[in-house]
């Protein structure tokens, strides 16, 4: 009869078994070689005792017991060995926890090789990050992190626009970094030592927006400050005024803003004397202002005043070479911020680089902060990435397929349907689907209905 201890002892991996309370039931003879503990001394003792004595870190057994699921981590021993440990809970037929089986594989040499590989693989990434760092040193704390030719063109144009007072409008989807680019232009401009005033037109209630923008004189209305209040436009005097979400500016305030731009003066609520103001105006929107003009929702004269130089920031999915650079940047940023040491596994890099990031850089930044602060271990693994990202990335990594023999026309129809379905899953609107696929919006809408993707 074969003894299970002989079987476990012959395995290449190191095996450690505890009961449901964490007391050792079995330990491979090779345990002592890597952990510096006599396996015989461990039998019947809580594994936590050896963790507290510093034989290894982090603890995995008690985590498996708490979470009642498989856990894997990189463990460092007192002998300075690196082990890849997988902890597996064992349940009886009634679902009661019987114990935990840990298998450990020595990866000390592999980790060194992997580190060298990662260093080589991301040498270009780090190089571009260093350039971005130098850009930040030259342009204040709001330098741009980029690698793609499209963003290089955006940065180049932003540098030119920073030296003139022409009105600039930043276009692009939510989260692409319009606010960062506006601050970058200001930091590079001759106005860099003067105020940069950022106003989100969609974040301030309409009832308060006029007084916030234009200020008011004392006694202008019930509840007003007895000394009056300078508006945000006046506070930007000599510097840069950044009006984000300009499409949300109420129609009646569009007239007043137009007057500020034409006359270079501002009249507070309740005031009779205009005050001179000298501002560089930067606006931003993710809406189609021209369409809003045609629909009578935005003043045409203001549109042409602010639309002197449009600068569009492409979505992150259209500049995928930027993703590893930004991943590295935010990983280091938040690790430094919270005093943590974190690394991403190769699988994590692959998942993050295949995801389309509909929320753009803002979504990527939020996900990276979440991974840094919630990871239990130095090495961040794929199971810590939000499930919706893993599923979407998996779908994105699959090519469009025709699974069976079809006529040429039927195959074309099948490919079209899959392509439209994938585009609609990512972009959600017919306008964005049309842009992504290079077709007109009516055509996109018609084809989506044809394939029953839209009702």
Q: Enter the tokens of residue 298.
A: 């935005």
pLDDT above 80 (res 50): yes
> Do 181 and 206 belong to one domain?
yes
d(CA 409, CA 284): 45
For residue 372, being part of any structural domain is answered with yes
Choose among 182, 136, 175: nearest CA to 161.
Answer: 182
Model confidence at 135, pLDDT cuts 50, 70, 90, reads very low
Region 125-150: mean pLDDT is 56
Q: In the chain, pLDDT over 70 holds for what percent of residues?
A: 84
Which of 189-193, 295-299, 374-378, 411-415 shows the lowest mean pLDDT across its residues? 411-415
Q: What is the DSSP string of 149-218?
A: HHHHHHHHHHHHHTTS---EEEE--TTSSHHHHHHHHHHHSTTTTS-EEEEETTTS-HHHHHHHHHEE-T
Model confidence at 224, pLDDT cuts 50, 70, 90, reads low
> Do 379 and 423 belong to one domain?
no
What mean pLDDT, rounded, does the chain reach? Answer: 83
Q: In the chain, pLDDT over 90 holds for what percent of residues?
A: 40
Region 407-412: mean pLDDT is 78
For residue 129, being part of any structural domain is answered with no
Do 187 and 139 form a contact (C-beta atoms < 8 A)? Answer: yes
Region 268-276: mean pLDDT is 83
Q: Which of 247, 279, 312 is the last residue of a domain?
A: 312
For residue 119, being part of any structural domain is answered with no
Region 20-27: mean pLDDT is 91
Which stretches of 330-400 are assigned E, i.e. beta strand?
A: 343-344, 379-380
Region 157-182: mean pLDDT is 94
The more confident residue out of 29 and 228 is 29
pLDDT above 60 (res 323): yes
pLDDT above 60 (res 240): yes
Q: What is the CATH number of the domain that holds 326?
A: 1.10.8.60
d(CA 163, CA 434): 36
Q: Domain of 381?
A: 317-396
pLDDT above 70 (res 202): yes
Question: What sign does the CA torsion over 48, 49, 51, 55 have?
Answer: negative
Q: Highest-confidence range of 107-116, 138-147, 405-414, by mean pLDDT?
A: 405-414
> Do 148 and 203 belong to one domain?
yes
Region 75-80: mean pLDDT is 82
pLDDT at 377: 84
The more confident residue out of 344 and 401 is 344
Region 215-238: mean pLDDT is 76
Model confidence at 116, pLDDT cuts 50, 70, 90, reads low
> Do 186 and 238 belong to one domain?
yes
d(CA 212, CA 253): 12
Which of 42-56, 278-292, 406-420 shows the lowest mean pLDDT across its residues? 406-420
Q: Which of 284, 312, 340 is the last residue of a domain?
A: 312
Region 380-395: mean pLDDT is 84
Choose among 55, 54, 38, 48: nearest CA to 18.
Answer: 48
pLDDT at 371: 95
For residue 171, being part of any structural domain is answered with yes
Choose among 330, 376, 334, 377: nearest CA to 352.
Answer: 330
Q: Enter the tokens of residue 409.
A: 């026309």
Choose among 176, 207, 217, 181: nearest CA to 196.
Answer: 181
Q: For the chain, how many structural domains are there in total?
A: 4
pLDDT at 327: 92
pLDDT above 90 (res 334): yes
Which of 326-330, 409-413, 417-421 shows the lowest mean pLDDT across its residues? 409-413
Model confidence at 271, pLDDT cuts 50, 70, 90, reads confident
> Do 339 and 289 belong to one domain?
no
> Do 259 and 162 belong to one domain?
yes
pLDDT above 60 (res 398): no
Model confidence at 113, pLDDT cuts 50, 70, 90, reads low
Taking only the tens place, the pLDDT of each residue in 418-451 is 888 878 877 778 888 888 888 888 888 888 888 8
For residue 274, being part of any structural domain is answered with yes
For residue 44, being part of any structural domain is answered with yes
Do 62 and 22 form a contact (C-beta atoms < 8 A)? Answer: yes
> Do 326 and 299 belong to one domain?
no
> Do 376 and 424 belong to one domain?
no
pLDDT at 81: 83
pLDDT above 90 (res 161): yes
Do 278 and 235 form a contact (C-beta atoms < 8 A)? Answer: no
> Do 307 and 322 belong to one domain?
no
Region 208-215: mean pLDDT is 87
Q: What is the CATH number of the domain that holds 64?
A: 3.30.450.20
Region 368-392: mean pLDDT is 89
pLDDT at 149: 86
């Amino acid at each position: 009869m074969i003894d299970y201890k002989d079987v476990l002892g012959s395995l290449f991996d190191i095996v450690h078994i505890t009961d449901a309370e964490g007391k050792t039931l079995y330990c491979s003879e090779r345990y002592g070689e890597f952990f510096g503990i006599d396996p015989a001394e461990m039998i019947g003792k809580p594994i936590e005792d050896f963790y507290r004595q510093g034989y290894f870190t982090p603890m995995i057994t008690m985590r498996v017991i708490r979470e009642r699921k498989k856990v894997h981590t990189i463990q460092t021993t007192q002998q300075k060995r690196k082990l890849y440990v997988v902890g597996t809970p064992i349940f009886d037929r009634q679902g009661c926890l019987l114990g935990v089986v840990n298998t450990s594989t020595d990866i000390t040499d592999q980790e060194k090789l992997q580190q060298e590989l990662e260093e080589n693989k991301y040498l270009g990434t780090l190089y571009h990050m260093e350039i971005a760092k130098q850009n930040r040193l030259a342009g204040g704390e709001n330098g741009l992190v980029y690698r793609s030719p499209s963003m290089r063109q955006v940065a180049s144009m932003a540098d030119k626009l920073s030296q003139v007072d022409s009105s600039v409008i930043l276009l692009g989807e939510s989260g692409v970094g319009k606010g960062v680019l506006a601050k970058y232009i200001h930091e590079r401009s001759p106005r860099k030592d003067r105020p940069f005033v950022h106003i989100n037109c969609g974040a301030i209630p309409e009832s308060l927006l006029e007084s916030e923008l234009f200020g008011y004189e004392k006694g202008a209305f019930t509840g007003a400050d007895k000394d009056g209040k300078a508006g945000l436009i006046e506070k930007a005097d000599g510097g840069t005024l950044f009006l984000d979400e300009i499409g949300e500016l109420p129609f009646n305030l569009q007239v007043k803003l137009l007057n500020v731009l034409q006359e270079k003066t501002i009249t507070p609520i309740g005031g009779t004397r205009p005050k001179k103001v000298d501002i560089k105006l930067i606006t931003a929107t993710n809406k189609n202002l021209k369409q809003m003009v045609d629909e009578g929702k935005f003043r045409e004269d203001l549109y042409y005043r602010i639309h002197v130089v449009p600068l569009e920031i492409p979505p992150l999915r259209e500049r995928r070479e930027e993703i590893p650079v930004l991943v590295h940047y935010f990983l280091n940023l938040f690790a430094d911020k919270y005093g943590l040491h974190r690394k991403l596994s190769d699988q994590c890099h692959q998942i993050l680089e295949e995801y389309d990031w509909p929320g753009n850089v803002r979504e990527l930044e939020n996900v990276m902060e979440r991974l840094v602060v919630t990871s239990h271990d130095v090495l961040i693994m794929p199971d810590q990435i939000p499930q919706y990202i893993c599923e979407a990335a998996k779908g994105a990594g699959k090519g469009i397929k025709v699974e069976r023999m079809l006529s040429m026309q039927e195959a074309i129809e099948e490919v079209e349907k899959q392509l439209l379905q994938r585009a609609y899953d990512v972009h959600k609107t017919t306008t964005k689907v049309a842009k992504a696929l290079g077709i007109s919006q009516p055509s996109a809408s018609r084809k989506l209905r044809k394939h029953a993707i839209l009702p």
